[in-house]
Structure 1
Amino acid sequence: MGDYNGSGTLPRHVDRKALYTDLEARVRYLQQFIGFTADDVIALNRGSKYIKALAPTLVDRVYSKLLEADITARVFQTRSTTSELDVDEYPEFKSPYMQCRRMFLRWYITRICSDPTKIEFWAYLDKVGRMHRGKDRMISFDVEYIHIGACLGYIQDVLIEGVMGCEKMSLPFRVALVRALGKVIWIQNDLFARWRVGDGAEFEMEIEAVHENQEPISRAASAKANTRDRRDGEASSVRSTWSSRGDSASIFSDRQSTAPTSINIGSQEVAADYPACPFSPDHAPSYETRVWSDADSGRCSR
């Protein structure tokens, strides 16, 4: 037999059908491919407080960007980027409705700062992708993938700008956190794309059956998990809650990423002056950062 992968052993088997019908198998494959490891979990865990602090700036910049072009601004009225309906009035950035929409993105960022060792973390990201395909929820949107990809790219850029400009973190930790966030965003990108591309179409009935039979994740339990205080060293002994498989090499395997493992959060003598960093002494947000502007903004009626 030939030397297939440099070690004389056969390549690891990946079940194609499982990639489309089993979310856990799909996420595991993506984690293995891009090298999402326990080091990334540690970085996300210890960096969550900085990402949460960056959330108001990130949210405002994203929604300001979405309102720049009519094709994306129109979605808040028509719920679809394919709609050619004339819109009499586009939503304003500071309107109660947009305040409410911004709350959803802040909630999303909070969820990203939760525990990626649990399948519920990835199930939530998958649900977000499915919702933007116009499935499952009454408040869903039908947003074409070009806009989704562009928005994720913009989010990643703002996160890089904010994290790398934060002098409260050491440079090695900033690099580790940016790498971990990038991997999560690219997995999220796939969990958007899977509902848009035609790959695996022959398994569509089984895919839909899985979602119809899924039990919804308890909102109260999720909120409790997301607001739980975490100690700096908590992630050093992470344990997978996913079912073990003989051929898997998950984020908790012995293989480690090349991300710095000696993570320490300390101030740097020299740091770039990035406007997105909420920790900079000169930081002055140019956007309204409150989620709720008044009592009427507590509901999204559209």
Structure 2
Amino acid sequence: MTSTPKHIERDRLFTDIQYRFDYVSQFIGFTETDQEYIRKSAPVVGGLVPTIVDAVYDKLANYDVTWGHFSQDQDGMPQDRESPAMCSRNSSDEPPVEMNSEVIKFRKVMLTKYLKKLVTSEWNLSYLKYLDWVGHIHTTTPLKKSNINVDYIHCNALFGYLSGAITGILSKCDEWDEDTRDGIVNAYVKFFWVQNDMFSKYYVKDRVLTEKEKAAVAEAKRENEDNVRRELRTESLLNAVVGMVAGVVIGMYGFKHIGCG
């Protein structure tokens, strides 16, 4: 333990991607050496990507609670409303998405790109924004238009599965000497905790919204209030019309009754 703890600006952890990454990485010990180990694994992991992707989707297909999310629209996905394979299936009465559908093919391509970026990208701000974007698109948050919203429990479980699957494969690889292999395995374990954090930031309640997000929340609240007011005005108008009609009917009935007397 150092004599003087390093000061961390709490609010900045939620507004500055680089600052958050630096803190989490330093805390868990994810260093430039680990990043180099991940790049060193590229020749092996790159060849395993199709197998890893298929294994992930086989795992997701085992549970209706995870597979059901693939009936929802995702950012970046081409939307052809005339094609049954590409349309949103939000009704529980509709059949589940098939493994060979265009929806799953698209998402497999996205996961393939993700894994290939992992072993080839430089760890700069641009890549950190990409990792943050991957977390963002899976949640319903301000500034995001797509419908997909995956509960965090499934994201966390998937990272646990991915971490175990990849490190399990790499730990048996004889491509490297023992020290290099151990370094690569440890680097992947640390990475998945870093990526998991970039998901959890969009779920935890202690997150601090950016000014843009605050404005989006306020706008959404105003729109909701406007909708409520419109509904109340419509309801009031309807009640007034009903009251007027009832009054006319009652008046006519009373007039007729008096005439008959």
TM-score, normalised relative to structure 2:
0.70
Contact residue 69 and residue 148 of structure 2 kept, 8 A: yes
Question: RMSD value over aligned CA atoms?
Answer: 2.5
Q: Closer, same or farther in 2 for the Cα pair 1:51/1:209, shift >3 Å?
A: farther
Q: How does 1:180-199 map to 2 (within 5 A)?
A: 180-199=187-206
Equivalent residue for 2:168, pick from 137, 161, 167? 161
CA distance in 1, matches of 2:164, 2:93: 30
- Secondary structure in 2 matching 1:92: coil
Is the aligned partner of 1:89 residue 2:95? yes
Contact residue 49 and residue 112 of structure 2 kept, 8 A: yes
Q: How does 1:1-302 map to 2 (within 5 A)?
A: 5=1, 7=2, 9-78=3-72, 85-135=91-141, 136=143, 141-200=148-207, 203-206=208-211, 208=213
Task: Give the C-alpha shift of residue 34 in structure 1.
Answer: 0.5
CA distance in 2, matches of 1:116, 1:210: 33
Contact residue 18 and residue 26 of structure 1 kept, 8 A: yes
Task: Give the C-alpha shift of residue 188 in structure 1.
Answer: 0.5
CA distance in 1, matches of 2:177, 2:215: 44
- Secondary structure in 1 matching 2:14: helix
Q: How many residues align?
A: 201
Specify which structure has the bigger relative contact order, considering alpha-carbon pairs within 8 angstroms and separated by 6 or more residues: 1
> Which amino acid in the other structure matches residue 98 of structure 2?
E
- Secondary structure in 2 matching 1:21: coil
Cα shift readout 1:133-178 (whole Å, capped 9, x = no counterpart): 0355555620000000011111111101211122222222221111
List runs of 5+ in structure 2 lacking aligned partners: 75-88, 217-261
CA distance in 2, matches of 1:30, 1:205: 20
CA distance in 2, matches of 1:52, 1:158: 15
Task: Give the C-alpha shift of residue 19 in structure 1.
Answer: 0.5
CA distance in 2, matches of 1:74, 1:125: 24
> Which amino acid in the other structure matches residue 72 of structure 1?
T
Contact residue 131 and residue 198 of structure 2 kept, 8 A: yes
TM-score, normalised relative to structure 1:
0.61
Q: Closer, same or farther in 2 for the Cα pair 1:28/1:140, shift >3 Å?
A: farther
- Secondary structure in 1 matching 2:99: coil
Task: Give the C-alpha shift of residue 78 in structure 1.
Answer: 3.6
Which structure 1 residue ranges, 4+ long, deviate > 4 Å from structure 2?
A: 135-140
Percent identity (aligned)? 29
CA distance in 2, matches of 1:33, 1:119: 19
Larger-gyration structure (1/2): 2
Task: Give the C-alpha shift of residue 180 in structure 1.
Answer: 0.8
> Which amino acid in the other structure matches residue 60 of structure 1?
D
Q: Closer, same or farther in 2 for the Cα pair 1:111/1:72, shift >3 Å?
A: same
- Secondary structure in 1 matching 2:199: helix
Q: Closer, same or farther in 2 for the Cα pair 1:116/1:198, shift >3 Å?
A: farther
Contact residue 72 and residue 147 of structure 1 kept, 8 A: yes
